[in-house]
Structure 1
Amino acid sequence: MSQEKSSQRTNLWRPIVAMVFELWRAHPIAFVVLIATTVIPGFSYSVYVLAMRGLINALVESPTPGAWDIPTYMLLYIAAILVEMTMNMLRPIIMVYLRDHATHHIQSRIYEQAANAPLIRFEDSAFYDCLRRADNNLGDRLTELLNGLLHPLWQFSIAASIAGTLFVVHPWIIPIMALGIIPSLLLQSKRAHMVYDVQRKHTLTDRLRHYYQELLTDRQAAAEVRLFDLSRFLHNRWTHSWRTREKDVLNVYKRDSGYHAFGGFWEWLSYAGVLSLIIYSVVMGQATIGDLAVVISYATRFQNFLQGTVQSVGNILEHSEFLGDAFEFFALAKEQEKEPTEKIRPSHIEQASNKRQGLAITARDITFTYPSRTDPVVKNVNLQIKAGEKIAIVGENGAGKTTLVKLLIGLYTPDAGEIYMVDGDMDKRPPEEVQSRVAAVFQDYAKFDLKLRENIGFGQLDAMSDDTRLYAAAHRADILDIHSDLSDGWDGYLGRKFGDRDLSGGQWQKVALGRAYLKDADLVVLDEPTSALDPKAELALFERFVDLTENRTALMISHRLGAARLADRVIVMKDGQIIESDSHRELLKLNGEYARLFSAQAQWYQ
């Protein structure tokens, strides 16, 4: 148990040391200047103490003090004040400058590692919770930590400055007062653990509470919340999550009050001991009146600064736990960070695009399981897709269609087996190396509340400012009417957050399709447009999709079978396996699973 507690204390300080290193890396010069402007004013207190002690002793011990004694002490006192004022003026400016640089530096690391993490990690709730904790109010946390680091450093420099003079007065003053502060220091460390444990325990609870709050106030959810009379249910869930957290937080502060009272008693006891010691020394002629005045005036300050140092250290420890989340995320992201690969950029395939024929895909005995599940979602799949072939992947919901496609294009990595792509101009390559030649519109496509130019331009960033290419992509996706309706054209905002032009589900999907068309890829994926379109509209979309993907490999995913008639080959999935694979006509003749599904849906297309 003692080893475990020792390990916890070590882990508690580790983020602080790591964060100090990050502050140094963010801006070394600002870091050094900030430390200097914090420490120098603290040590000016030794000048105050010496000047006051000298003045009192000179006035008490000699009726006619030397003419230069008092002016000398006064000049020292004034010089110390001027130095302190200058440093105090510079310190907040430097702190804000360093804080902003450090926040940008650390957030850049978080976003870079999040971007490099395999897509499958975002299916892992533990990884996602860690990412949210790492990025949650990082700037505010860093501000609090900086204040927490500087304040005890300033307080400690004052305490050390006063301690030097008090040690000259009597060597036992400092040890006695230091003993009185040890219990408070230990209890502050314990408190920091308690606060962080509560926050970590309620990470999911807090996320749920905020989500319930969003549902209660969200415009998009408002209709269904009222239709299904969910307001009271959601409000009760929100209240329960709030009260659960409140109870644990209140318990922490109750225990903290007891710790504070216990530590304060020991601090008072040590001060009483020091005061008794110096009075006895004066009575015995071992100390002067100036020494007594110094102890009475500055021993309490020394104790207050020590106490403030302990409290500030407690705040550091508390916030270091939260900043430790950033380093926990760095470690977690690094565990499964994708190996850097030499990606085939469009500039490398210009010659190939002149004789475009699409990409061929081969999958051999691949199996894949999500981190949150124990049973495979894709099981022992073998598949060959020819360059330029149009493939329809069909099956009921949950059959594994989308997961298989994400494996084929390199967004997920199979647990077993291998996948590679090939065309006439390059050797076999893993799919993640040729993602610049792949475009996809998934069923969970993104809706960016940004400009129309950006919504389409994200498909090919170097074409975002090319209105001609944007127009061509919008025409192919049949969304030129959206461009015409926007007063600012390509620079008009979509959605309600920054503009006033909201889109229907089908329109948002067409915008996503425009991104895919802008990329001008060799392999294009269209996944489950059924949520936003009726069967006939979906069939029309697939017909246009097939026409526009000539000389490209195309994968069409749906649990509706209208698109299957347009494909060169139909792949039927069930329970994560390919159970049938042939043309539409041949599968109907087979009279198997595909024939059963098609017969059940035939009336949709009549």
Structure 2
Amino acid sequence: MERRLFRKVRHEKTRNNVKYGMLSNSLFMVKEALGTNSVVLAVTLFQALLAVAISLMELYVAPTILGNLERHDALGTMIGSIGFFALGIMGLQGLSAYLENNQIFMRIPIRLSIISKMWRKAGTCSYPVRESQDFIRSFTKATDASIGNDSAAEYIWSTFAGLLQNLVGFCIYLYLLTHADPVIIIVTLAAAVISYLASSYFNGWGYRHRQEEAEIKNRFFYFRGRARDRQLAKDVRIFGIGGWLREMQDKNMRMLQDFYLRRERVCLLADFTDVALSFLRNGIAYAWLLYLAVQGSFSASEFLFYFTAVSGFTAWITGIMDSVSRLRKQSLDLSCIREMLDYEEPFLFEKGKALEVMPGTEYTIELKDVTFRYPGAEKETFFHLNLTLHPGEKLAVVGANGAGKTTLVRLLCGLYDPDEGEVLLNGVNIKEYNRRDYYQLFSAVFQEFSLLAGEIGENVACFEQETDSYRMRDCMEKAGLAGKVEALPEGYGTHLVKEVYDDAVELSGGEQQRLVMARLLYKDSPVMILDEPTAALDAIAESDIYRKYHELSRGKSSVFISHRLASTRFCDRIILLRDGKVAEEGTHEELMTLGKSYAELFRIQSRYYVDRPGENE
């Protein structure tokens, strides 16, 4: 039961199923504004009131002038009325235009704050969540909802302003029309409600199909990205896979176009329904108003006033419906953002017990009766595995491909939790600790290590805000790369990654290994992990790198993984993984004396290098 529950949380079903409503999402944005730039709230309210004031001025201008004519007012009075309305409308419209042109500078910081939180979530979430396809889809949808000035995370402020404007205008015009006839109000409201219900259904189509859209876009951008991948360029030319890449990109482009075509058909039907209902609503209202005027219920100026008011009242109702509909769509997008931000975590972080890594403290890490299986796998990677890493011990992990060497390292490092059993640190289950504190125990170099776009010194110090230059140079010296780097024109300020910097240098495979070695030494953690980082190097280069790590890891617990057994002969203990368990265990000499799988594999590899000296694997 525990295994099924944890797998459910740890992988594809790891998500918070809370549905966020319009009110909840609106309050979320208000909270973001209060924490980032509260001025946008006041400006949004002021924009709404300005728009209503302009509408009222435009409503009264023609009936007022016509009333002057009916009463035979003096020319000065008429000119005064015209001047008052003209200047009033010009002034209010000018102020409204100013706010409209400058409100973007108030809204952008709020959207950028949300994006920053999204990237922080993606960068700090647990490893199982980060590699989950469900989370990746959620992140894609959240990104779509926050990229650009017209995205929900920014444009919603225009929707708020429009909704406030329409609500205030509706209330004022409703009061004015109560002096005319209630039939007009009833007809207009009834048609508007029907229009809203129809548009609500149509506008929800995109949200109901958001998973389908995310999957299609993920595939499309994956193949587009691979076609631009500089590292793949050689394979494309040598193996002739360019045609296949183009075919897959075109196929996914067609799928994306088909999806958008279906969406636009739904939008077209929604627009047609809205036009038909608007025509019916306005026709009945105007016909009834005309009937009342013929009956002599209104003067000419009053007829013009109510005729204009009905048009405005209809616009306010339509505006409310449109604003609510737009707010609903934007709320669905904001739901994607909040689902991503609130994505459920299987590990404890800030709520876990603090763990302070102290220099000189001895740490014992134990895998106790551990069972682990990847989702969808036919069998367990480990089944009731028991293993202890003792303080200061150098442990080598060997085995065939798929034996679970990398998985073992991830369990030791706390990147995964077992389905059954425990990972203990000095006798305490690591689930109790703040997992980020636990990570500080480890310095690791994995098979696919990363050199980031930045300076060499920054890569060594992992972009610390305050780099210890002396310690950084000392680590580079110990790694055997100081001479090479200091001979460069910019020294430790030399850039890496040519995709970003034109003046970047390209380090050889061996030099990259020494750079990550210096990074590992700079962190100076009590446990070192090497998960086949030298797999791309030849046997001699790998042996040299591992000997260097051996020299520099004195006094530290170390785990070395390599498919070349000769590289790890120096380790205190070697374990061979097979069938989810430790099949053989001992020193190199003890395992050779045992004469089983390890000894046979070592002899085969030794014969290969003797028969074919100097060749890379």
Question: Where does residue 39 of structure 1 map in the other structure?
Answer: 48
The aligned runs of 1:91-170 (5 Å cut-off) are: 91-100=100-109, 102-136=110-144, 138-140=146-148, 141=151, 142-170=153-181
Question: Where does residue 5 of structure 1 map in the other structure?
Answer: none
* Distance verdict in 2 for CA 1:123–1:259, change over 3 Å: closer
Structure 2 residue identity aligned to 1:493: H
- 2:66 matches 1:56: yes
Query: How far apart are 1:292 and its partner, in Å?
Result: 2.1
| Cα distance in 2 between the residues matched to 1:486 and 1:129 | 43
Aligned partner of 1:250 among 261, 273, 287: 261
Length-normalised TM-score, structure 2? 0.86
| Cα distance in 2 between the residues matched to 1:451 and 1:476 | 19
Question: Where does residue 270 of structure 2 map in the other structure?
Answer: 259
Listed one character per residue, the Cα deviations across residues 390-442 of structure 1 (whole Å, up to 9, x for unaligned) are 110011111111111221122222222222234xxxx8573844432321111
Query: How far apart are 1:80 and its partner, in Å?
Result: 5.2
Question: Where does residue 504 of structure 1 map in the other structure?
Answer: 508
Question: Where does residue 228 of structure 1 map in the other structure?
Answer: 239
Structure 1 residue identity aligned to 2:572: D
Query: How far apart are 1:298 and its partner, in Å?
Result: 4.5
Task: Specify the SS of the correspondent of 1:383.
Answer: strand
Aligned partner of 1:370 among 349, 356, 374: 374
Task: Specify the SS of the correspondent of 2:240.
Answer: coil
* Distance verdict in 2 for CA 1:320–1:504, change over 3 Å: farther
| Cα distance in 2 between the residues matched to 1:163 and 1:413 | 62
Question: Where does residue 479 of structure 2 map in the other structure?
Answer: 477
- 2:519 matches 1:520: no
* Distance verdict in 2 for CA 1:320–1:374, change over 3 Å: farther
Query: How far apart are 1:587 and its partner, in Å?
Result: 0.9
8 Å CA contact 1:113, 1:333 repeated in 2: no
Task: Specify the SS of the correspondent of 2:351.
Answer: coil
| Cα distance in 2 between the residues matched to 1:602 and 1:147 | 72
8 Å CA contact 1:121, 1:127 repeated in 2: yes
Structure 2: any 5+ residue segments left out of the alignment?
1-16, 611-617
The aligned runs of 1:37-436 (5 Å cut-off) are: 37-44=46-53, 45-60=55-70, 62-64=71-73, 71=80, 74-75=83-84, 78-79=87-88, 81-100=90-109, 102-136=110-144, 138-140=146-148, 141=151, 142-334=153-345, 338=349, 340-345=351-356, 349-350=358-359, 352=360, 359-373=363-377, 375-422=379-426, 430=430, 432=435, 433-436=437-440
Structure 2 residue identity aligned to 1:377: T
| Cα distance in 2 between the residues matched to 1:562 and 1:417 | 33
Listed one character per residue, the Cα deviations across residues 444-499 of structure 1 (whole Å, up to 9, x for unaligned) are 2122121112111118x36x522211111112222225523542222221011224
8 Å CA contact 1:569, 1:581 repeated in 2: yes
* Distance verdict in 2 for CA 1:361–1:391, change over 3 Å: same
| Cα distance in 2 between the residues matched to 1:378 and 1:577 | 6
Over aligned residues, Cα RMSD in angstroms?
A: 2.9
Structure 2 residue identity aligned to 1:104: L
| Cα distance in 2 between the residues matched to 1:212 and 1:57 | 69
Listed one character per residue, the Cα deviations across residues 542-566 of structure 1 (whole Å, up to 9, x for unaligned) are 1111111111111101122122311
* Distance verdict in 2 for CA 1:547–1:504, change over 3 Å: same
* Distance verdict in 2 for CA 1:210–1:113, change over 3 Å: closer
| Cα distance in 2 between the residues matched to 1:542 and 1:334 | 36
Query: How far apart are 1:570 and its partner, in Å?
Result: 0.2
Question: Where does residue 563 of structure 1 map in the other structure?
Answer: 567
Higher mean alpha-carbon deviation, 440-449 vs 373-382, is at 373-382
Aligned partner of 1:576 among 571, 580, 594: 580
The aligned runs of 1:523-562 (5 Å cut-off) are: 523-562=527-566
Structure 2 residue identity aligned to 1:264: V
Answer 1 or 2: which has greater helix percent.
1
8 Å CA contact 1:278, 1:287 repeated in 2: no
Task: Specify the SS of the correspondent of 1:138.
Answer: coil
Higher mean alpha-carbon deviation, 149-158 vs 552-561, is at 149-158
Query: How far apart are 1:77 and its partner, in Å?
Result: 5.9
8 Å CA contact 1:571, 1:578 repeated in 2: yes
Higher mean alpha-carbon deviation, 75-84 vs 440-449, is at 75-84
| Cα distance in 2 between the residues matched to 1:115 and 1:333 | 15
| Cα distance in 1 between the residues matched to 2:79 and 2:185 | 29
Structure 1: any 5+ residue segments left out of the alignment?
1-7
Question: Where does residue 3 of structure 1 map in the other structure?
Answer: none
Listed one character per residue, the Cα deviations across residues 288-307 of structure 1 (whole Å, up to 9, x for unaligned) are 21122224444334434543
Listed one character per residue, the Cα deviations across residues 64-109 of structure 1 (whole Å, up to 9, x for unaligned) are 4697687367536633542443244234434431331x22332343
| Cα distance in 2 between the residues matched to 1:576 and 1:531 | 23
| Cα distance in 1 between the residues matched to 2:442 and 2:51 | 62
Structure 2 residue identity aligned to 1:135: T
| Cα distance in 2 between the residues matched to 1:309 and 1:99 | 25
* Distance verdict in 2 for CA 1:519–1:258, change over 3 Å: closer
Count of aligned pairs: 584
Higher mean alpha-carbon deviation, 200-209 vs 411-420, is at 411-420
Question: Where does residue 4 of structure 1 map in the other structure?
Answer: none
Query: How far apart are 1:133 and its partner, in Å?
Result: 2.3
Structure 1 residue identity aligned to 2:400: E
| Cα distance in 2 between the residues matched to 1:178 and 1:524 | 71
Task: Specify the SS of the correspondent of 2:185.
Answer: helix
| Cα distance in 2 between the residues matched to 1:420 and 1:125 | 29
Structure 1 residue identity aligned to 2:132: D
Task: Specify the SS of the correspondent of 2:577.
Answer: strand
* Distance verdict in 2 for CA 1:324–1:481, change over 3 Å: farther
Question: Where does residue 467 of structure 1 map in the other structure?
Answer: 469
* Distance verdict in 2 for CA 1:234–1:134, change over 3 Å: same
Query: How far apart are 1:534 and its partner, in Å?
Result: 1.0
Listed one character per residue, the Cα deviations across residues 91-141 of structure 1 (whole Å, up to 9, x for unaligned) are 4434431331x2233234333433443212223211222123223461422
| Cα distance in 2 between the residues matched to 1:532 and 1:414 | 30
| Cα distance in 2 between the residues matched to 1:398 and 1:87 | 66
| Cα distance in 1 between the residues matched to 2:580 and 2:541 | 28
* Distance verdict in 2 for CA 1:415–1:243, change over 3 Å: same
Higher mean alpha-carbon deviation, 249-258 vs 531-540, is at 249-258
* Distance verdict in 2 for CA 1:168–1:55, change over 3 Å: farther
Question: Where does residue 20 of structure 1 map in the other structure?
Answer: 29
8 Å CA contact 1:370, 1:377 repeated in 2: yes
Higher mean alpha-carbon deviation, 222-231 vs 85-94, is at 85-94
Query: How far apart are 1:336 and its partner, in Å?
Result: 5.2
Query: How far apart are 1:505 and its partner, in Å?
Result: 3.6
Task: Specify the SS of the correspondent of 1:444.
Answer: coil
Higher mean alpha-carbon deviation, 160-169 vs 244-253, is at 160-169
8 Å CA contact 2:368, 2:386 repeated in 1: yes
